């Protein structure tokens, strides 16, 4: 008889197992790449087999300045935004563990006792008195049989959101590394501009004192004196502006690092400032961004989560079965709680089938589908923004090098012009106005050389960031 019951039960168990493998979530398919498969022809770099993938180049290897690398390391340790991103990972991990726990039954052990006195008038048969009851056992409370994948999809959605927070932390680190390097190079440019401004101010102060003496001797005009004074004040203005900008950039660096940067880590006077301070970068293909950029991977994880939520919404149209049960011992005497014959159990299955909900389930499904479509649009936009950032940086790389070469050549020409103008003025062969014009043009060319050099370096940092460089497994574990 027991064998017959077992044979009858097996198909039911097998059917339950088959149903429990069911999932109503749509099969996930990665959306088509919403950008061209190649970079714009005007800036497209040569791509060769075996090129190093940028996101495999550690920031410790990309940057060559030892002080800058120490500043970045401090920022990764103390920056508050990055700390929040890491704490968000811990929170998402805990939320996922809470959701995943619903896929397993919750077992609780319990021990309870009760004593009460019942009056004779209320007791059955008129035999009242003190009554006692004691119970001990384990129980399962409202465990849902996941026949249609509702709980599994909830768990999958939570897992994908957890993965998204991990990618967000990686994106935050990439941005932090790039921002620290960008501001650090700006401070270095400020130092060079300050040195140039002080040098120019000293030169113009000396020149203006000479004009005052010449004017007192009647050997110079009021016009020449005022021109000299104007250039002197312009040099003071440039020095004040550069000093202010230097303070602003150092303040920004302090916030990024999360603490005041030690003086020995600030840019060193005369530090190298050329193409050798950073490693050359291969650009790869647009499709490489899908694996290289954590912000794209984050958006795809959110898309997967939204896809799983559709399965949750669809499962709401089908029955939900939950089980509650207990097994243990019951006795009127605490001393006899575990004696023979005290075994007790209860089994309370419950099935809920939606009949009428005013369209709530259908509306929830519509919301889930709309969320999935929104996630697709956000995923596409993230890829398009990433494509543009790389294309912009490649355009800068294609032109800034030539611009810098031309600016340096212009500075050299202006330096020769200034030297000749000074010789001609000292020899009485040209006017003071011609000499001042050469002086002003040389200062402007020198400033432009520093600013263009900064733009070229910052563009290389931007390209490194846009291609997904700046994140390492070691740093994430730290």
CA distances from 208 to 213, 307, 429 (A): 9, 74, 20
* Range name among 1-5, 21-25, 213-217 with the lowest pLDDT average: 1-5
**What pLDDT does residue 42 have?**
60
How are beta strands 129-145 and 343-352 bridged, if at all? unpaired
Q: What is the pLDDT of residue 49?
A: 41
- Residue 17, class by beta-carbon neighbours within 10 Å (0-12 exposed, 13-18 middle, 19+ buried)? exposed
Sheet holding 129-145, edge to edge: 107-118, 129-145, 320-331, 343-352
User: Does residue 61 have a pLDDT over 70?
Assistant: yes
Report the distance separating Cα 261 and Cα 78, nearest Å.
Answer: 11
Closest CA to 131 of 146, 142, 119: 119
Closest CA to 353 of 309, 324, 322: 322
Q: Report the distance separating Cα 343 and Cα 338, nearest Å.
A: 8
Residue 338 parent element (H or E): none
**135 is written with which tokens?**
């119970």
Which pLDDT does position 370 carry in this prediction? Answer: 96
Strand partners, 137: 110, 328
Which has the minimum average pLDDT: 260-269, 326-335, 457-466? Answer: 326-335
Q: Is the pLDDT of residue 96 over 60?
A: yes
Q: How many residues are listed for the chain in this entry?
A: 478
Query: What single DSSP character describes residue 77?
Result: H
Q: What is the mean pLDDT of residues 432-439?
A: 88
Q: Indicate whether 3 pLDDT > 50.
A: no
Give me the pLDDT at residue 53, please. Answer: 65
Report how far residue 9's alpha carbon sits from residue 335's, in angstroms, rounded to the nearest whole number: 38
**C-alpha to C-alpha distances, 349 to 86, 326, 328, 352, nearest whole angstrom:** 42, 12, 18, 10
Kindly tell me if the per-residue pLDDT of 52 is higher than 50: yes
pLDDT at site 10: 43
Per-residue confidence (pLDDT) for residue 33, from 0 to 100: 85
Helix axes 150-216, 80-101, angle to 10 degrees: 180
Least confident among 131-145, 395-409, 417-431: 131-145
Share of the chain above pLDDT 90, in %: 42
Q: Is the pLDDT of residue 408 over 90?
A: yes
The whole-number pLDDT of residue 180 equals 95
Rounded distance between C-alpha atoms, residue 362 and residue 346, angstroms: 36
pLDDT in tens, 146-203: 888 888 999 999 999 999 999 999 999 999 999 999 999 999 999 999 999 999 999 9
pLDDT at 126: 66
Cα separations in angstroms, 314 against 125, 149, 158, 307, 310: 56, 9, 17, 11, 6
State the number of CA atoms in the 13 A half-sphere of 59 facing the CB: 31
Give me the pLDDT at residue 125, please. Answer: 67
- Mean pLDDT over 20-29 rounds to 80
pLDDT band for position 54 (50/70/90)? confident
Unique residue bearing structure tokens 């004691």: 134
Which residue in 306, 308, 323, 319 sits closest to 361, CA to CA? 319
Highest mean pLDDT among 52-66, 243-257, 353-367, 459-473 belongs to 243-257
Closest-CA residue to 386 (of 308, 466, 313, 321): 466
For the whole prediction, is pTM greater than 0.85? no
Task: Catalogue all structural domains in the chain, each as residue range(s) with its CATH number.
Answer: 22-103+147-318+362-477 (1.20.1600.10), 107-145+322-353 (2.20.200.10)
Residue 292: the pLDDT is 81
* pLDDT score at 12: 45
Report the relative pairing of strands 320-331 and 343-352 from DSSP bridges: antiparallel
CB 293 within 8 A of CB 372: no
- Residues 6+ positions from 73 with CB-CB distance below 8 Å: none
Residue 307 has pLDDT above 90, yes or no: yes
Q: Does the structure show a pLDDT above 60 at 239?
A: yes
What is the distance between the terminal CA atoms of the chain, rounded to a whole angstrom? 63
Q: What is the pLDDT of residue 44?
A: 59
Does 256 score more than 60 pLDDT? yes
Chain mean pLDDT for the chain? 84
């Amino acid at each position: 008889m027991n064998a017959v019951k077992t044979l009858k039960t097996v198909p039911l168990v097998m059917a339950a197992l088959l149903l429990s493998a069911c999932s109503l979530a749509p099969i996930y398919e990665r959306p088509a790449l919403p950008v061209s498969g190649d970079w714009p022809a005007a800036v497209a770099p040569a791509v060769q087999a075996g090129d190093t993938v940028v996101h495999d180049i550690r920031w410790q290897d990309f940057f060559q300045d030892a002080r800058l690398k120490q500043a970045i390391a401090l920022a990764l340790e103390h920056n508050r935004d990055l700390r929040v991103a890491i704490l968000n990972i811990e929170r998402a991990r805990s939320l996922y563990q809470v959701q995943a726990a619903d896929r397993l039954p919750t077992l609780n052990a319990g021990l309870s006792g009760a004593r009460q006195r019942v009056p004779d008038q209320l007791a059955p048969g008129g035999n009242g008195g003190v009554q006692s009851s004691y119970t001990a056992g384990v129980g399962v409370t409202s465990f849902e049989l996941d026949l249609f994948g509702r709980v599994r999809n909830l768990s999958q959605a939570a897992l994908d959101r957890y993965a998204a927070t991990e990618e967000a932390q990686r994106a935050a680190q990439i941005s932090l590394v790039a921002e620290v390097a960008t501001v650090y190079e700006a401070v270095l440019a400020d130092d060079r501009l300050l040195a140039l401004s002080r040098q120019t101010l000293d030169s113009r102060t000396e020149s203006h004192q000479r004009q005052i003496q010449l004017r007192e001797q009647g050997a110079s005009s009021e016009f020449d004196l005022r021109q000299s004074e104007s250039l002197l004040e312009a040099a003071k203005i440039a020095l004040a502006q550069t000093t202010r900008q230097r303070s602003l950039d150092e303040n920004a660096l302090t916030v990024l690092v999360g603490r005041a940067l030690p003086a020995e880590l600030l840019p060193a006077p005369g530090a190298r400032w050329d193409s050798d301070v950073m490693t050359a970068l291969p650009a790869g293909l647009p499709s490489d961004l899908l694996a290289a950029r954590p912000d794209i991977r984050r958006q795809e994880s959110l898309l997967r989560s939204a896809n799983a939520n559709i399965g949750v919404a669809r499962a709401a149209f089908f029955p939900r079965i939950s089980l509650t049960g207990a097994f243990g011992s019951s006795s009127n005497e605490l001393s006899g709680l575990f004696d023979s014959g005290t075994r007790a159990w209860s089994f309370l299955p419950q099935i809920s089938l939606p009949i009428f909900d005013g369209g709530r389930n259908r509306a929830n499904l519509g919301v889930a589908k709309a969320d999935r479509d929104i996630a697709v649009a956000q995923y596409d936009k993230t890829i398009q923004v990433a494509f543009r950032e790389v294309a912009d940086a490649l355009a800068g790389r294609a032109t800034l090098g030539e611009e810098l070469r031309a600016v340096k050549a212009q500075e050299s020409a202006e330096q020769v012009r200034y030297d000749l103008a000074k010789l001609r003025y000292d020899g009485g062969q040209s006017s003071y106005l011609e000499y001042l014009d050469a002086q002003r043009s040389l200062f402007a060319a020198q400033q432009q050389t520093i600013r263009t050099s900064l733009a070229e370096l910052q563009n290389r940092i931007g390209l490194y960031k846009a291609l997904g460089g700046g994140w390492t497994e070691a740093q994430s574990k730290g």
